Every structure is written in C-alpha cells, then in structure tokens.
Structure 1
Amino acid sequence: MSGVTLEKAVKKYGEVQVIHGLDLEIAEGEFCVFVGPSGCGKSTLLRMIAGLEETSGGKIHIGARDVTRVDPSDRGVAMVFQTYALYPHMTVEENMGFGLRMTGHPKAEIREKVSEAARILKLEDYLKRKPKALSGGQRQRVAIGRAIVRGPEVFLFDEPLSNLDAELRVDMRVEIARLHKEIGATMIYVTHDQVEAMTLADKIVVLRAGHIEQVGSPMHLYNDPDNRFVAGFIGSPSMNFLEGTVSGGKVHCPLLGETAIDAHVALPSEGSRVLVGLRPQVLSVEEGPSPLKLDIRERLGGVAYDYLVDGKDARIVVETRADEEIPEGTEVRLVFDPADAMFFDGETEARLR
C-alpha cells in the first residue's frame, strides 16, 4: 500500500490545458473520490496517475517513488474501467489470473491469489463460468478481482458502476465499500455521481474545469462548502439558491415576499447581490400569499419532494412528509431557520462566513 501525491500536475493537449497545476495528497489506505461534471478532468487525472496519459508538467509520486515518467506496468497500480473488458473465451478463474500468467508467476501462486480474491468478492461458485453466464454486477466483480490478484499499491476505478442498473449500482457500492474495509488498500475512484462520492469516500476531491474546487470529507463538504459550485454539487436533491439583495443589514429575497433574512455572516456592502443557499431538508412550506406555488409533489414512500415555482425561472425543492396534503397549485410560503441558510457572494459565488 502507498499514498499518492500530485505536485503542480499539468496536462495539455497541444495548446489546450485541461489540468491546471494541481496539488493533492492522498494518504496510504485512503478511499479518495474524484467527482465533478462531465469534462471537469477527473478521468484525465486518474489516467495520469495510471500512466495512461502523459503528464505535461509537475510530478506524481506513488509512495516515495516519483512515477511521473514511469511505464504504467511499473507503477504498482491496477485500474478497473467502466467496461468490464473480460475475455469472453476464458472462465472467471482464467480472467482473474491472466495478468499473473503473462508475467510468469507460478501456477500454485496464481491459484492461491485467485482463490483469495474470489473469497473476498464472493465469486467462489462462479470460477468455472464464462462471462456470458454472469450478470453485469458479477462481471464487474470479476474485473475488480483481476485487479486484486495483482496486489497493486493503488487501485484506480474509472466510473465502474455507470453501466449497471440502479439496483445493481447500490449493491456494488456496498461491495466496493466492503472491499476497501477488508483489504485496506489505497483507492482512487472517479464518478460524476455525488451519491457514490458521499457514500464511498474518506476524501472527496471536487473538480471543475481542471481545477480543484475543494477537498474534504463527505460531511465536511456537505456542511461547510467553500463556494456555490461545491454547495450545489454535493447533496441530493441539490441545494436551492435564492437571489437576494443586501438592504439595511439584512438580505431581502423576492421569493420570500416581505420577509427579510437576518444573516449570521458578514455581508457585503448595501445593495450588493447575495445568493441564499437552502438545502431541501431544512425547508418546510405553509399555505399563504406568496410568489411561489406548489407545482408538483413526488412521493417516495415516507418522504416527498415538493417542487415550487414562481411562474418565471425559479424552482425550489422542499423535502416534506409524504402524507402532507397541500393541493398542487396552492400558493405556499417557505419556512426555515435562518441559522440553516448559507450565503454566497453574488459576483464571485464564494461563501460568505
């Protein structure tokens, strides 16, 4: 096991720079998730660590070794891809041991390592089957098993669950979390799904346009985001943002009618634009005159999501009890504790503290 350190890591394609001098330290045994929207550079960064993309500038260390110019096969990493990439003519056992056979390992050692990986992944009963006789989740476990038998210093996962249906994704999330707990290896995982990031990670790295926006534990990013982008990306459903203006030392939001928010942070100058961040979980609604009306209610068993609209561009999501009976189309007011609100500069979108 080894940690991974990036020092001013840069990636360019010709004149186009896609990774902008990133510094990052991933501790030994840590489960680190790169998350962000499509095109933010998370898969490129993972491939740079793997050696599948040349690093244009800066350094990459795995443990104490500078691997910036080291061949991928000598970096001590194993990568699990979005596609399973299994050999269809080979059995599960043969697929999992293929890499060791190619490097000339003794047959007894290969059998021992494949058997141990199969135990960890609960694949003992499938070792003689071929991939076509397996479900999608089982195939992905075989791909992970192929990585395990190599005994890498670092595991790299590139959106490994995106091809699975919703139920299998949940099951495989649990399997990967259990795998990390059992073997304790350093793992770096790429996803655009913030739910995967929140449930799997020890550390989340939020990326946007090749820059790191914030690094921290899942709950730290959820409770203490540095800017609007992180606040809106982490959490499901996403945080609501209300346009507001500073007036008389308070924040006035058109969607709240005459109600002004007594902010608990240092506000910018009079007349400045401010964004008020409110998570759906801290909101409730009550009937009454308001710019907002209840448009749609989604019932999800014990909870429901109310979608409020103002007839223009605004849409607010509120988490409520599923048994509440406010008719759709009713005008409703937002109710919340100002202490639960977050405030962001309207121009820079940085958090006001």
Structure 2
Amino acid sequence: MSGVTLNKAIKKYGDVQVIHGIDLEIDHGEFCVFVGPSGCGKSTLLRMIAGLEDTTDGQIHIGDRDVTTMDPSQRGVAMVFQTYALYPHMTVKQNMGFGLKMNGHPKSVIEEKVAEASRILKLDEYLSRKPAALSGGQRQRVSIGRAIVRGPEVFLFDEPLSNLDAELRVEMRVEIARLHREIGATMIYVTHDQVEAMTLADKIVVLRAGVIEQVGAPMELYRDPDNKFVAGFIGSPAMNFISGQVQKTNVKIGATGDTLKHKLPSPYHGRVVTIGLRPEFITIDPTGDTFSVEISESLGGVSYVHLRADNGEKLIAEQRGDIRSNEGDRVGISFDRDTVMYFDTDSEKRIRI
C-alpha cells in the first residue's frame, strides 16, 4: 500500500519558516489536491514529498518507508511539471522511454511500458513526432506518459494545466481523471484552479501561510467549511460576506435589514458577526430597492450580478435563465435562509448553530 503520511513536516529557508508542522495522511489510491493562495506553500510541500526540497524537521512516509532523507530517485514517485520538460530533439517515444533507458532497463521492457502508457493516453499516432509538432495538451500527455512508464507508487502534479488554454484544460482534466480511475495510483495534485480541485479530488487540502486550514472531500468543504477563509476560497464565485448584529433570538443583516430567526450562542449576543451567503442561493427581486446593480456578467445560461448595498457592502448573486439586470438598476434580494453561515468576525472561525 502506497499512501503518503506527513508527520509534523517543517520547511525553513534560513530563519524563514514556510511550512509549519504539517500532519497529513493520504490514503493509497486517493487523489489529493493541494489548494491555496499564491505563496501558501502548496508547491513547496509537493516538492518536499518528491525530495526536491529538503525537509527541515518531521517525517515523510510513502507506504511503510521513511523517505524523509531519501534521494528523489529512490522514493518511488514521478513528478509532472507545468513546463512539460521534454527533450526537443527526441521523439515522443524516446522522451517517454528515456528515463528507463538511463536506468538500464532492457529495450523490450521499455517498448512494453511505452506502448502501455501511449495506449492509456491515446498517444499511439504521435510516437514518432517531436515535441515541436505537438499541441500543448499533447505535450502534457507525453509528460504524464513519461511518469507512467516509471511505474511510480505516487504521482505528483505541480499545476500541470496552467499553461493550457481553457478548452485544453477541460480536455486534460478529463484525461487525468480517467487516468486515475484506470491505474488507481495515489496522486497528489497542486493547483490554484477551483474547478480542477472540485472535479478531480477525493480529498482537498486547503493551505494558508504554510498551515493546513481544513482537509476534506470537495463538497464537504463547500457545504461545511470550518472558517471564513475556507468558505471564501472554496467555490466560484466566492461566498459573499456581510455583517450582522446578533440579538437574543435572531440576527439582523446590516445590508438588507432582514431579520434571521437564528439563535447564536450567548457570548455573541449584542456583537457583530460575519454572515456568509453563497451566490447561487440568492434570488434577485426586481421590484425591490435595497441594492444597486454595479455590473452584470452574462455567461450565457448563467449571469453573475454584482450588487452594492446602501451601507457599502457588496454581494454577487447568480441568476439563471433570461432574467436581466442592468447597471444602475435598483433591486432587492431574497435567499434561502437555511444556507446562511455565521463566522466570528475576529477569529474567522465558523459559528455553528
């Protein structure tokens, strides 16, 4: 079994600590995605697992092996980068088999493994081409194929689709999901793309400033975030945050004047809290007069309407169908009150009711 376990993993560059005692278990065969803002440490953590960055303190295990100080070539991992890193003078077939050739594998074994990888990735017709004759998506498939032929215990992907256009990203996302289903290997994937994380992952690890904020299945994080950061980071468009005044048996929303019949814990009575509303649970009432429409972004079957309340707070509402809102319109909103979330304004922790 080749899961990955991190035990109090720390990374420092001199006096600067960038990874702060990470504890994490990734099960064998799981597709785990690291997400977080730029500089949060997700690529550093991936490179620590690969052995491309030294681990300052703590342990990393792959299966039952402690690989903390092991050379990258001995860890049983293969890494796919966003830059493809293909040899331009070699054919697809030569690129995919080069690592095995350098390690002294027999030609027959190389032929067999390259053939199997090209079948999985549908690269048979491109084997004699050189990278310059391939599209970006095809080059990335070759890069993935080069990883497959090594037969690693763990696949590591560092933002592999970020150099592709939107259409190719969708295509390659499907390819990677299919690849995971077919070979069943443990995969760890770094991305800043919400859609990639939500559609590919069995488990998402949300990182901020070198610390894990929350770990869980995609819809678990979406529906039940532990704090405001996770709530705002998971989901696109992001969750709306507005203020509310807590009373003994209800909460009054500052932006709309609505009163929510929710009883928060007594320490919050009289305090201001942060209210979270998902855009898809907000309905625009064209007969209302609470918000001003700043801009409406139409994507065809769905529109995102940016609203500003008279107190300056902003919301994004998702509209479907032929409903139209124009810049400068005055509108009201309604929303599903069962979907409202509350957060402590100071600590940003979720207030559960």
**What TM bracket, shorter-length normalisation?**
over 0.9
Q: CA deviation at 1:285?
A: 1.3
Counterpart AA for 2:154: V
1:23-62 alignment runs, 5 A limit: 23-62=23-62
- Counterparts of 1:98-117 in structure 2, within 5 Å, are 98-117=98-117
Question: 1:233-272 counterparts in 2 under 5 A?
Answer: 233-257=233-257, 259-263=258-262, 265-266=264-265, 268-272=267-271
Over residues 127-152 of structure 1, what are the superposed CA-to-partner deviations in whole Å (9 max), with x where a residue is unaligned?
Answer: 00000000000000000000000000
Q: Is the 8 A contact 1:76 1:152 kept in 2?
A: yes
> Does the 8 A contact of 1:299 with 1:322 survive in 2?
no
Residue 255 of structure 1 aligns to a residue in which SS? Answer: coil
Report the alpha carbon displacement of residue 298 of structure 1 after superposing the two structures with TM.
1.6
Deviation per CA, 1:44-63: give whole Å up to 9, x if none: 00000000000000000000
* Partner residue, 2:157: 157
Q: Which moved more, 1:309-318 or 1:201-210?
A: 309-318
Q: Deviations over 1:27-57 (max 9, x none)?
A: 0000000000000000000000000000000
User: Does the CA contact (< 8 Å) of 2:303 and 2:320 recur in 1?
Assistant: yes
* TM-aligned CA distance change 1:332 to 1:106, over 3 Å: same
Distance 2:119 2:142 in 1: 12
For the 8 Å contact 1:263–1:338, the answer to whether it is kept is no
Q: What residue in structure 2 maps to residue 21 of structure 1?
A: 21
| 2:182 aligned with 1:182 | yes
Deviations 1:201-225 (A, max 9, x none): 0000000000000000001000100
Check whether the contact 1:246–1:273 (CA below 8 A) recurs between aligned residues. yes
Structure 1 residues 337 and 267: alpha-carbon distance in aligned structure 2, compared to 1, 3 A threshold: farther
Q: How has the CA–CA distance of structure 1 residues 260 and 16 changed in structure 2, closer, same or farther, with 3 Å as cutoff?
A: same
Per-residue CA distance 1:209-261 (angstroms, 9 max, x = gap): 0000000000100010000000000011110011112124322222113x211
Instruction: Confirm or deny: 8 A CA contact 2:207 2:213 kept in the other structure.
Output: yes
1:188-208, Cα deviation, whole Å (9 max, x unpaired): 000111211000000000000
- Residues matched between the structures, number: 352
Task: Flag structure 1 segments of 5+ consecutive residues without an equivalent.
Answer: none
The answer for the alignment partner of 1:293 in structure 2 is 292
Q: Which moved more, 1:89-98 or 1:293-302?
A: 293-302
Per-residue CA distance 1:269-312 (angstroms, 9 max, x = gap): 32212111000011101134544112222222222111112367
Q: Any stretches of 5+ residues in structure 2 without a counterpart? A: none
Q: Residue in 1 aligned with 2:342?
A: 343
> CA 1:338–1:118 in 2, change beyond 3 Å: closer, same or farther?
same
CA deviations over 1:107-128 (Å, ceiling 9, x no partner): 0000000000000000000000
Q: In 1, are the aligned partners of 2:50 and 2:77 still within 8 Å (CA)?
A: yes
CA distance in 1, matches of 2:216, 2:263: 24
* Aligned residue number for residue 132 of structure 2: 132
8 Å contact 2:33–2:189 — kept in the other structure? Answer: yes
Q: Which amino acid aligns with 1:324?
A: I
- 2:191 alignment partner in structure 1: 191
Instruction: State the Cα RMSD in Å.
Output: 1.3
* Distance in 2 separating the partners of 1:61 and 1:323: 54
Q: In structure 1, what is the equivalent of residue 279 of structure 2?
A: 280
Where does residue 324 of structure 2 map in the other structure? 325
CA distance in 2, matches of 1:330, 1:268: 40
